[in-house]
Amino acid sequence: MSNLLQVEAAAELIYRYMHPTPQYCWPLLSERAGAEVWVKHENHTPVGAFKLRGGLVYMAHRGGPGNLNNWDKWISCSVGA
């Protein structure tokens, strides 16, 4: 289980390498739900998914923050799930 300090540290790390994911209010969804609905568009990230954030944090923990400067040594894959 993560604590607030760990979450804040992960957010700081992630925002060094990628912009925040855009969020948009969707009027039709809001009307249907009876509440204001905001959708976070992960398909607008450089890789089209949220997985990059988890990968950044994982790799930083595996080899320390300096490990993120060795992009040419990374290999990763996803099954799309």
Q: Distances in Å between the alpha carbon of 23 and those of 36, 40, 63, 66?
A: 12, 4, 32, 30
- Please check the confidence at residue 70 and state whether its pLDDT lies above 90: no
Q: Is residue 78 part of a domain?
A: no
Domain-located, residue 75: no
Confidence (pLDDT) at 48:
76
The verdict on residue 9 lying in a domain is yes
pLDDT over 90, % of the chain: 26
Per-residue confidence (pLDDT) for residue 64, from 0 to 100: 63
Is pLDDT above 90 for 73? no
Residue 18 inside a domain? The answer is yes
Range(s) of the domain holding residue 26: 4-68
pLDDT digits (tens, 9 = 90+) for 20-41: 888 999 999 999 999 999 998 8
Task: Examine residue 73 and state whether it is found in any structural domain, yes or no.
Answer: no
Residue 23: inside a domain: yes
pTM for the full predicted model? 0.61
Q: For the chain, how many structural domains are there in total?
A: 1
